[in-house]
């Protein structure tokens, strides 16, 4: 049911749209397990880098592998995102499921590697070649040995995510009822994982 909004609640610490924002009741292990389950269902995300003189610039990226709270991508090292990361290692990764309304936000720092990284062969699949092409010179051929192919590794520093607690009909009902009554729609829970949590996640990856 939507949360009731009272005039006495409207200040920065007690406004229900703020004070009820974060779920701090669910045990941390369950929050972590739910994060993995949520993000593993969304293979394509928006990776944002910081471009000098512009600010955040995002592009769609397929996750090659998740290692605990961290994410690996295969990418063309001639692309602009590598230029961005050469100047600023900060990056932001977001996912959203438009059906469930679940979303994930991961902020962290990035390390990039060259084609000499042996992990490329493990991460590579035939479909990857579609994003590189074969230039016909016997070298730049879109395979795992293509010198353009490199790894972007996002090491998480802060994670937040939204887990829906109602289905599509429940979402519509909550929003409609809240709009009609002046209450606050209650459609899910928002959680955050901070550096201490993330370091623990790296110790017991899933």
**Residue ranges per domain, the chain?**
22-165+190-203
User: Which H or E element spans position 108?
Assistant: strand 103-113
Measured CA to CA, the distance from residue 89 to residue 73 in angstroms comes to 15
139 CB-near residues (< 8 Å, 6+ apart): 146, 147
Phi first, then psi, for residue 157 (nearest 5°) are -120, -30
Q: What is the DSSP string of 146-188?
A: -TTEEEEEEEEEEEEEEEE-S-HHHHHHHHHHHHHHT-B---E
Residue 19: predicted pLDDT: 63
Q: State pLDDT tens for residues 123-144.
A: 999 999 999 999 999 999 999 9
153-157, 181-185, 194-198: least confidently modelled range: 181-185
Give the CATH number of domain 22-165+190-203; options: 2.30.110.10, 2.60.40.420, 3.40.50.720, 3.40.980.10. 2.30.110.10
Higher pLDDT, 2 or 151: 151
């Amino acid at each position: 049911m939507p949360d009731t909004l009272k005039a006495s609640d409207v200040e920065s610490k007690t406004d229900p749209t703020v004070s009820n924002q974060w779920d701090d009741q669910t045990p941390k292990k369950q929050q972590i397990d739910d994060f993995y389950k949520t993000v593993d269902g969304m293979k394509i995300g928006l990776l944002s880098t910081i471009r000098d003189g512009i600010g955040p610039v995002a592009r769609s990226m397929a996750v090659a592998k998740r290692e605990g709270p961290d994410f690996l991508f295969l990418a063309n090292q001639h692309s602009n995102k590598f230029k961005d990361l050469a100047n600023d290692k900060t990056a932001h990764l977001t996912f959203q499921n438009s059906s469930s309304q679940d979303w994930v936000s991961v902020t962290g720092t990035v390390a990039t590697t060259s084609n000499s990284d042996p992990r490329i062969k493990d991460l590579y699949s035939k479909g990857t070649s579609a994003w590189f092409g074969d230039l016909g010179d016997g070298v730049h051929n879109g395979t795992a040995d293509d010198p353009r192919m490199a790894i972007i590794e996002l090491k998480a520093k802060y994670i937040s995510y939204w887990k829906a607690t109602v289905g599509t009909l429940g979402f519509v009902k909550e929003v409609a009822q809240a709009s009609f009554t002046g209450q606050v729609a209650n459609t899910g829970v928002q959680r955050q994982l901070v550096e201490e949590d993330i370091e623990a996640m790296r110790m017991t990856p899933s």
